[in-house]
Amino acid sequence: MAGLPLKGALQDGQLEIIENGGVVTDDGKIVAIGAYDDLLAAHPDIDMDKPMQPSVLLPGFVDCHTHICFDGTRSRDYAMRIAGKSYLDIARAGGGIWDSVTKTREVKEVTLMESTVQRANRHFQEGVTTIEVKSGYGLDMASEIKMLRAIAIAAFHTPSTLISTCLAAHMKPRDFEGSEQDYLQWVLHELLPLLKENDLTKRVDIFIEETAFTASVATPFLQAASEMGFDITVHADQFTAQGTEVAVKVKALSADHLEASGDKEIALLAGSDTVAVVLPGASLGLGMPYAPARRLLDAGASVAIASDWNPGSAPMGDLLMQAAVISAAEKLSAAETYAGLTVRAAKALGLTDRGALQVGMEADFQAYATSDYRDILYYQGKMKPITVWKRGKKITML
């Protein structure tokens, strides 16, 4: 992924492929990369880790949008959905986001931490070395702090890097007395200062949708959060197109979902530095069309691919499989797909130190038992990495 442009369409011929290559790491960073024999001659006393079979080495994947800190399942929601019930039908029957809020509020912090570690470790085994994790199933002071503390502690118990995001603006909680605007003011003036003081997150997200928060109240909320020093991301255009314009206006790092994005939204993203994050797992879970990834790329946008792993709309959490499926549906080249899982996904998190195999980058990478990088997508997620390294250390998961 070294040297690839961060925006626009990519062809496979733009991938720099080193045959019989090697990587030298020191103190968690890549310090040299090139022909294996040349590196061996230059470093004759170095510890070597040579695979027993032909392998393709890729950067570790970056999943820039997940909700893996939660308790319980929503299998009842799923059964109702595939039986033809609408989102509102399910919500009225006690399902939806509020169901996960209720279950997550009830559980202890240590239980949340352990389940987050379990999901992060599974992701790591599948080559995902950096994972964004949102709160948003708490929606009150104690529960949001509990979630963000659980994520922070989980980071010490998994090899993956966990990056937290406050999604207290997931929806207005049913037990909050006041308007949507009143709730967002509470988040701004009561919750966010406490999170900042305790260094529990550097990122803020909001769900802009008819069933969550309108663009008119989201815009000043995000502008205020940005002025407080938080990085911004937005749940945008999942069902209706109103979030992208806000994301671009407030200079969000990313606008995520985009299934309902049209020509206007595509042009806005292409003309901005905001990364378009597509979430094929949500399309699969909800039976919805995919985000227009092909049109976004052709317009010149930066497109990342994330799992949206959550208990409701995207419970699968298999990032590589989802990327392979959307690449077939949207006609994304292998280069565009891999870039969307690595260097462009890192950009969506504001990270410049990972996502490519090049000198100075974090030594996060994964090996696949094949001599042809195209096989990885060809098997549509069934080919998994045989080895994953974090900061230059081979990690064997039990």
- Are 42 and 157 in the same domain? no
In the numeric block, which tokens belong to residue 159? 């090899």
Q: Which pLDDT value is given to residue 360?
A: 97
Q: Grade residue 89 by pLDDT with cuts at 50, 70 and 90.
A: confident
Q: Which pLDDT value is given to residue 88?
A: 73
Higher-pLDDT residue of 398, 284: 284
Closest CA to 1 of 269, 378, 306, 345: 345
CA 269, CA 276: separation in Å to the nearest integer? 7
Q: Is residue 30 part of a domain?
A: yes
254-284 pLDDT tens trace: 999 999 999 999 999 999 999 999 999 999 9
Averaged pLDDT for residues 232-255: 97
Token match 């570690």: residue? 117
- The one-letter amino acid at 353: D
Phi, psi of 16 (to 5 degrees): -85, 115
Residue 22 reports pLDDT greater than 60: yes
Q: Is residue 197 part of a domain?
A: yes
224-238 pLDDT tens trace: 999 999 999 999 999
152-197 pLDDT tens trace: 999 999 999 999 999 999 999 999 999 999 999 999 999 999 999 9
Eight-class DSSP state of 107: S
- Are 53 and 71 in the same domain? no
Closest CA to 257 of 292, 224, 219: 292
- Are 299 and 333 in the same domain? yes
In the numeric block, which tokens belong to residue 223? 């502008």
CA 256, CA 233: separation in Å to the nearest integer? 8
Q: Which pLDDT value is given to residue 91?
A: 80
Helix (H, G, I), strand (E, B) or coil at 291: coil
Q: Is residue 4 part of a domain?
A: no
Positive/negative CA dihedral, 385, 391, 394, 396: negative
Structural contact between residues 275 and 344, judged by C-beta atoms closer than 8 angstroms = yes
Structural contact between residues 228 and 260, judged by C-beta atoms closer than 8 angstroms = no
CATH number, residue 218: 3.20.20.140
Query: Cα torsion at 130, 132, 133, 136 (round to 10°)?
Result: 180
Q: Is residue 6 part of a domain?
A: no
- Are 358 and 341 in the same domain? no
- Are 39 and 130 in the same domain? no
- Are 123 and 93 in the same domain? yes
Measure CA 251 to chain center: 18
CA 10, CA 308: separation in Å to the nearest integer? 24
- Are 291 and 384 in the same domain? no
Eight-class DSSP state of 191: I
- Are 244 and 306 in the same domain? yes
CA 149, CA 315: separation in Å to the nearest integer? 23
In the numeric block, which tokens belong to residue 322? 């989802």
CATH number, residue 387: 2.30.40.10
CA 372, CA 264: separation in Å to the nearest integer? 39
Q: Residue 351: CB partners within 8 Å, gap ≥ 6? A: 62, 130
Q: Which pLDDT value is given to residue 87?
A: 76
- Are 209 and 294 in the same domain? yes
Q: Is residue 193 part of a domain?
A: yes
Structural contact between residues 74 and 311, judged by C-beta atoms closer than 8 angstroms = yes
Residue 20 reports pLDDT greater than 90: yes
Q: Is residue 327 part of a domain?
A: yes
Residue 95 reports pLDDT greater than 90: no
Q: Is residue 7 part of a domain?
A: no
In the numeric block, which tokens belong to residue 47? 């510890």
Domain range for 246: 61-348
Burial class (CB in 10 A: 0-12, 13-18, 19+), 213: buried
In the numeric block, which tokens belong to residue 132? 């964004």
Closest CA to 322 of 286, 284, 372: 284
Q: Is residue 335 part of a domain?
A: yes
Distances in whole angstroms, Cα of residue 315 to Cα of each of 66, 67, 70, 123, 296: 10, 10, 11, 13, 26
Mean pLDDT of all residues in the chain?
96
Helix (H, G, I), strand (E, B) or coil at 190: helix
CA 150, CA 136: separation in Å to the nearest integer? 13
- Are 52 and 134 in the same domain? no
Q: Which pLDDT value is given to residue 281?
A: 98
Give the pairing type, strands 393-395 and 29-35.
unpaired
Q: Grade residue 398 by pLDDT with cuts at 50, 70 and 90.
A: low
50-79 pLDDT tens trace: 888 899 999 999 999 999 999 999 999 999
- Are 112 and 152 in the same domain? yes
pTM to 2 decimal places: 0.97
DSSP letters, 219-270, are HHHHHHHHHTT-EEEEEESSSSS-HHHHHHHTT-SEEEE-TT--HHHHHHHH
Averaged pLDDT for residues 343-370: 97
**Counted domains in the chain:** 2
- Are 325 and 359 in the same domain? no
Helix (H, G, I), strand (E, B) or coil at 275: strand
CA 275, CA 339: separation in Å to the nearest integer? 12
